[in-house]
Amino acid sequence: MTLGVVAGATTPTSQQLTIGINRGTARGTATTTVAGQKLDPRSAASGITGLDTVWSTPPTFSVSADQYRVSFNSQSGVDLPWELLEEFVSDVGTANPLVFVNRDNALPASHSYVLSVEWEE
């Protein structure tokens, strides 16, 4: 998993950011959903029902007890090698989302997070 920040045509404002990762208990109502892309085009269809990026009703999750937190500077990003013993497991299904939450500092105007995730099924 890699996390970073983009700021349109300018350099991102330097600040410390924290993302909380939670196992949700309900998917929420998505208004924007994207499909994952296969690394191996010959593999079977994904069991992931959708990668939601915007919600009219957010997913249900613990707002105070993150499963994992990662902090990084907005001008550098972070790359987490979750493999072998460091796997983050979530059951497949609409009631079992992984929720990525901005903690602490708000992003300035025209800034947005970029999240890249590779998963195994």
Please write the tens of the pLDDT for every residue from 93-108.
667 888 899 998 999 9
pLDDT band at residue 11 under the 50/70/90 scheme: very high
Question: In this structure, are strands 78-79 and 29-34 parallel, antiparallel, or unpaired?
Answer: unpaired
The pLDDT assigned to 92 comes to: 64
Average pLDDT score over residue span 2-25: 92
- Based on its alpha-carbon atoms, the radius of gyration of the chain, rounded to whole angstroms, reads 15
> H helices then E strands: how many in the chain?
0, 8
Residue 47 Cα distances to 3, 43, 97, angstroms: 24, 12, 12
Query: Where are the extended beta strands (E) located within the chain?
Result: 2-6, 16-23, 29-34, 51-57, 68-73, 78-79, 98-103, 112-116
The pLDDT assigned to 84 comes to: 65
Total-model pTM: 0.83
pLDDT at 90 over 80: no
pLDDT at 121 over 80: no
Amino acid identity, position 32: T
Q: What is the pLDDT of residues 41-86, one digit of tens each?
A: 898 888 777 788 888 998 888 888 898 899 999 999 999 887 766 7
Amino acid identity, position 74: S
pLDDT at 38 over 90: no
Distance CA 5, CA 8 (A): 10
- Residue pair 114/6 in contact by the 8 Å Cβ criterion: yes
pLDDT at 9 over 80: yes
